Amino acid sequence: MAVNHVDVKCGGILSAPSGNISSPNFPGLYPYNIDCSWLIVVAEGSSVLLTFHHFELEYHTNCAYDYIKIYNGIPEDDGNLLGTFCGDISPPQFTSSWNVMSIIFHSDRHVAYRGFSVGYRKDMCGGVLTGLSGIISSPGYPQDYSNNADCSWAIHVSNTSVVTLVFLDFQLENNEGCNFDFVALFDGPTVTHRHLGKYCGAEKPPHTVTTSNQLLVLFKSDFNIGGRGFKAYYFSGECQQVLSAVSGNFSSPHFPNIYPNNINCHWTITLAAGYRIKLFFPIMDLEDRNSLSDECDYDSVAVYDGDSQTDALLGCWCGREEPHSLLSKGNKLLVVLSTDRNEAHRGFTASYLGGKYSLYRHLICFENEALNIFCHIIILKSVLIILIVCMLYSLKCLKWHLRLY
Ligand SMILES: [Ca+2]
Ligand SMILES: [Ca+2]
Ligand SMILES: [Ca+2]
């Protein structure tokens, strides 16, 4: 028998550095027909870590009856949604990518269970990261990190993907063996997994790619001598692709559903030397330009004529702008999608074709079969026309000569 309150007070704003949230009436059955919303706001510069202690909701394949939704920010924005959960499988630990996180709880008019209980705490460093991409940095970065720091980040992406970690800045106390201050990487969720590297000093660690869908990053400092620390980007495979086929398609993460907020995704097209790349965007639907600056300040797709963001910018688009097709100067193109903390749209789809200069310098023949056939027909046709004209001309000459005699 479920409790049936008509006016249940639930939800609220929590700003203490740690606390607990549970469904109304927990551990008794939750009421029917309720909607609760909790907003957790901790000190700027830190993040929120959620850990579920109990989870028991009515089950539905799509969680259409009773559910909780967890957001990396405010709940009004679907781009912040980290997940929707129901049934009795507890959500994993989550860390927000900034200092705001929210939980909403909904129950319908039939069937109730005991609900949930979840703890949160403010994290100065470390956490469990599940976004498609994100930034991790030493505590207080770019100011010097504290002594005796002990941070660990568990990065967990979708099952079919891998994690790439790219260091943007790195400066730690240096010593041989890196026993004082160090960053250590593991190919899995714990230190018992394969060791990918241990780094200190001022040299940036190389790009690291896991073999599984999890990466563990540890940062430790000893009792004295610090440094600026480090800043690194991580990407899940859906958000970091290297394309080397002669033609292909790609799209923003989750397309045709809305893309996540707060991501920075890279697609690099690298073809063999001698190729050039033609790129099209059949669909583009991002947040609009900033009406004050008239720039793509919020969400944007940028294309660079090479493999890095220091190469020439071919263009930057947002809203529903339709870029013309683009042609690279060389055999590489980089496409970067950046989104801000709110308002997400469907995203984009892109197609590309690699082409090589043929003997006819003005014609680029593509290795895409249909286009290649078309291309060669044009060449063949022009050769045939020239032959026929020559033949007709020679026949005419021959006739003329015969008439003379
Ligand atoms: Ca229910
Ligand atoms: Ca130290
Ligand atoms: Ca946005």
**What is the whole-number distance in angstroms between the Cα of residue 19 and the centre of ligand 1?**
26
Nearest-ligand number for the alpha carbon of 171 = 2
**What is the whole-number distance in angstroms between the Cα of residue 324 and the centre of ligand 3?**
23
The residue assigned the tokens 């797709």 is: 301
**What is the whole-number distance in angstroms between the Cα of residue 129 and the centre of ligand 2?**
26
**What is the whole-number distance in angstroms between the Cα of residue 130 and the centre of ligand 1?**
28
Each residue's pLDDT tens digit, 341-379: 889 999 999 999 999 865 444 455 555 556 666 666 666
Query: Confidence class of residue 234 from pLDDT cuts 50, 70 and 90?
Result: very high
Ion ligand 2 neighbours (CB, 5 A) are 173, 180-181, 221-222, 225
**Which residues does 140 contact at the CB level (< 8 Å), separation at least 6?**
146, 229
Task: Give the pLDDT of residue 361.
Answer: 45
Spatial separation of the C-alpha atoms in residues 234 and 250, rounded to whole Å: 20
Each residue's pLDDT tens digit, 26-78: 999 999 999 999 999 998 878 899 999 999 999 999 999 999 999 999 998 88
Nearest-ligand number for the alpha carbon of 110 = 1
Range picked from 8-12, 153-157, 390-394 for highest mean pLDDT = 153-157
**What is the whole-number distance in angstroms between the Cα of residue 63 and the centre of ligand 1?**
10
**What is the whole-number distance in angstroms between the Cα of residue 184 and the centre of ligand 2?**
15
Q: What is the mean pLDDT of residues 81-92?
A: 94
Give whole-number Cα distances, 102 to 95, 110, 146, 157, 351, in Å: 11, 25, 30, 21, 37
**What is the whole-number distance in angstroms between the Cα of residue 71 and the centre of ligand 3?**
15
pLDDT higher than threshold 90 for residue 402: no
Query: 36, 113, 111, 32: which is closest to 69 by C-alpha?
Result: 36
pLDDT higher than threshold 70 for residue 391: yes
Each residue's pLDDT tens digit, 141-196: 999 998 889 999 999 998 888 999 999 999 999 999 999 999 999 999 999 999 99
Give whole-number Cα distances, 300 to 30, 268, 285, 340, in Å: 43, 16, 10, 9
Query: 271, 260, 248, 400: which is closest to 333 by C-alpha?
Result: 271
**What is the whole-number distance in angstroms between the Cα of residue 3 and the centre of ligand 3?**
41
Query: Confidence class of residue 313 from pLDDT cuts 50, 70 and 90?
Result: very high
Task: Give the pLDDT of residue 35.
Answer: 96
Residue 383 or 305, more confident: 305
Task: Give the pLDDT of residue 367.
Answer: 54
**What is the whole-number distance in angstroms between the Cα of residue 31 and the centre of ligand 1?**
9
Question: How much is the mean pLDDT over the chain?
Answer: 89
Spatial separation of the C-alpha atoms in residues 120 and 44, rounded to whole Å: 16
3-state secondary structure 84-126: EECCCCCCCCEECCCCEEEEEEECCCCCCCCEEEEEEEEECCC
**What is the whole-number distance in angstroms between the Cα of residue 226 and the centre of ligand 2?**
5
**What is the whole-number distance in angstroms between the Cα of residue 298 and the centre of ligand 3?**
5
Each residue's pLDDT tens digit, 235-292: 998 898 899 999 999 999 999 999 999 899 999 999 999 999 999 999 999 999 999 9
CB 263 within 8 A of CB 255: no
Nearest-ligand number for the alpha carbon of 67 = 1
Task: Give the pLDDT of residue 360.
Answer: 44
pLDDT higher than threshold 50 for residue 17: yes
Q: What is the DSSP letter of 80?
A: G
